[in-house]
Amino acid sequence: MTAFPRTATGFDATTASAAYRSALEVIGAVEPRVADAIGAELADQRSSLKLIASENYASPAVLLTMGNWFSDKYAEGTVGHRFYAGCQNVDTVEALAAEHARELFGAPHAYVQPHSGIDANLVAFWAVLAQRVELPALEKAGVRHVNDLTDEDWSTLRHALGDQRMLGMSLDAGGHLTHGFRPNISGKMFEQSSYGTDPSTGLLDYDVVRARAKEFRPLILMAGYSAFPRRINFATMREIADEVGATLIVDMAHFAGLVAGKVFSGDFDPVPHAHVVTSTSHKSLRGPRGGFVLAQPEFADAVDRGCPMVLGGPLPHVMAAKAVAFAEARRPEFADYAQRIVDNAAALAEGLKRRGVRLVTDGTDNHLVLLDVSSFGLTGRQAESALLDSGIVTNRNSVPADPNGAWYTSGVRIGTPALTTRGFGQAEFDRVAELIADVLGATTPTATSAGAPSQAKYTIADGVSDRTRSAAAELLAEHPLYPGLDLG
């Protein structure tokens, strides 16, 4: 199965080729180096095994939608209530994007303006604060909610926010920086605490999460991940949130495509259980880079105030592309794609285990696999670099209780959405597992100039990188990216 058959996304190679050639010609007449870089990026993506779990390939229809006159519009406000005139066409595409999102995920409300997943999370956090945080110090002045504050109230607000708590998954267990950690603004808004995973299995222990929530009493219970290779029972997480009076926010940025494709359903679908759901529109959903928020009715109005509370002007051209991507995901073939993502991840995990690679949680339920490369004597940085030298694009990632910290790490995160888009199946992913294991087994750490073991330097046995690149090229040739698209 090719990446973008015409029946799936309207991709016609002849039409798309003409469109891109014309676009590059126009760009090149102004700055040829940019046009060259665009062409080079396509060539690079076509010639490497892209296994970064947070990346994918958008359809030509989605990509082309972002390059148009909507980019020139300011459209602060919401549909039918703008602070600029002449936004009737923006209203059309934003309403379409929200409609498709609601129908795709079965959500009562959708807000499609966030520029990224971080923005979507900030919108959600402020919406919860606006709905739930009372500021007793200001009650005498008649101010009870965040959205009622004047400029003079901000010092009091900062103090009030310092008293609010968020409980989320720890970074080394697979959580995300935006879930209340200090380097991110969320860690400055909330007092944060984490729940981890069972040291022996790497899995969530919901009794431990419940006990931590009862002890910490958070305003927000955060669920979701960027490097946890298993499903989460969101029905149980909602029970825990209700028991402690917390608002459940689920960040489904990584697995939104699996929710859209109904691979994650019932207790594992966050939308019926969470008060607010945030997401990106790319990754496994295969849309443009951007974010969106799904909310229960009691949070809808507060969510819609994301601009100007958190966001700058909406990006109408990206909202238009979201509408196209959501429309694509509502087609029956997207459910087949989502299922193949999970099946391929299972095949990749089994192939790696069979070849002696240690996996965090010993497998996967979703789109990603987390390798612990310490058994090869490598850091994550060494493994990531050696794989890149061999034509395999991954990213290093922390593992639970990682002794190498967040920079060098002991793990490598890989995912199946992008190569599944190209048409890879389980047999091809087993071959990919073989290539990964070969490279890791042939990589040796080297010493620093002072003779100490290096966390970054390495050597690869002669011929392994070239042999791996050749094998990867054979796999990629069988599943071309944007088949038939010719930039000339």
Active-site residues, by number, are: 74, 76, 251, 280, 283, 289
Q: Report how far apart, in Å, the C-alpha atoms of 285 and of each of 33, 317, 335 are.
A: 31, 18, 11
* CA nearest to 380, candidates 399, 367, 361: 399
SS (H, E, C) the chain: CCCCCHHHHCCCHHHHHHHHHHHHHHHHHHCHHHHHHHHHHHHHHHCCEECCCCCCCCCHHHHHHCCCHHHHCCCCEECCEECCCCCHHHHHHHHHHHHHHHHHHCCCEEECCCCCHHHHHHHHHHHHHHHHCCCHHHHHHCCCCHHHCCHHHHHHHHHHHHCCEEEEECCCCCCCCCCCCCCCCHHHHCEEEEECCCCCCCCCCHHHHHHHHHHHCCCEEEEECCCCCCCCCHHHHHHHHHHHCCEEEEECCCCHHHHHCCCCCHHHCCCCCCCEEEEECCHHHCCCCCEEEEECHHHHHHHCCHHHHCCCCCCHHHHHHHHHHHHHHCCHHHHHHHHHHHHHHHHHHHHHHHCCCEEHHHCCCCCEEEEEHHHHCCCHHHHHHHHHHCCEECEEECCCCCCCHHHHCCEEEEECHHHHHCCCCHHHHHHHHHHHHHHHHCEEEEECCCCCEEEEEEEECCCHHHHHHHHHHHHHHHCCCCCCCCCC
CA angle, corner 484, sides to 481 and 488, nearest 5?
A: 105
**Burial (Cβ within 10 Å: 0-12, 13-18, ≥19) of residue 70:** buried
Cα(189)–Cα(125) distance, integer angstroms: 9
